[in-house]
Amino acid sequence: MPQEGCFSDTTTVQVYQRGPVQMKDLQVGDWVLTGKDTYQPVYTFGHHRNETTEKMFYQIYHHNSKREEPIEMTGNHLIFVLDTSSGKAKPIRVDQLQEFDHLITVGHATSSENEDTPTTVQVSRFALTRKRGVFMPLTASGKIIVHEGIVASNYVSLQEETPSIVESALLFPFVDEHTLSHWFLSPYRIACGVHFIDVCGGHSHDEEGILRWLTLGRRMARAAEHYESFASVPTFLFFGLCNILEIVFLGPLVWATFGMELVLLSVVVYGFHQYNEV
């Protein structure tokens, strides 16, 4: 369901055993930081390393920043902030951020802090810039850590094209825009996890460099926009079920190594069967 919304080429991520890497140098298969002490591979790009498209980017500065370079994201991209009413993280559009909002971070917690309480850092200021190059890496968790520990979503907002779907999602306390997009990508992640017909390869993107599965999602969302009852219940249930199937049949450890555990499990089951026949 995501539209074209991305990070700039200079936004950095932490790659395992390589350290900070700019988006323009990130590759499919690179293990990037997605949570506290958690690395996951980039299984594909939602926007396939488009280095020519020009976009307007929000430059986000925060109080703990040790870099001169800000985080740069398009206005419709989702980033996580602290919901003061619930004390939990919630995704919002970058263009809805305000000065002094608390961005969710990782890596700043101390052992004395409550692990259930997200660590945060305040936004200090914004700027706008127009640049060429848009990058949208996708990970199994749907999250990625950018710059100095800031938690960002892989996805963008649906509000511009499908406002009724977003409003309907708010009726479910456990569903938000990030979750809905993540659920929608579950069947695709399952296919990638078991290497099904190379859906994560170069042919998976259209001529504009956008992942075909996301283009399909946009079309589905536009169609569902005209049938609010369809959008509010069956759609959520269907893709929620897909996400459950992903967790049950693949699981986070399976995804972390691109489905290799399925092979190991098959070997173990076969060996156990052979042993019982002896």
Q: How far apart are CA 215 and CA 240, in angstroms?
A: 20
Domains and CATH numbers, the chain: 12-277 (2.170.16.10)
* Cβ contact 194:217 at 8 Å: no
Assigned token pair, 212: 């075909």
The amino acid sitting at 52 is: T
Q: Name the packing angle between helices 177-184 and 234-249 (round to 10°).
A: 60
Per-residue pLDDT for 115 more than 60?
Answer: no
Enter the pTM of the model.
0.78
Residue scoring higher pLDDT (190 or 201): 190
Q: How far apart are CA 161 and CA 198, in angstroms?
A: 30
Output the pLDDT for position 213. Answer: 82
Taking only the tens place, the pLDDT of each residue in 155-183 is 988 776 666 666 665 555 667 888 888 88
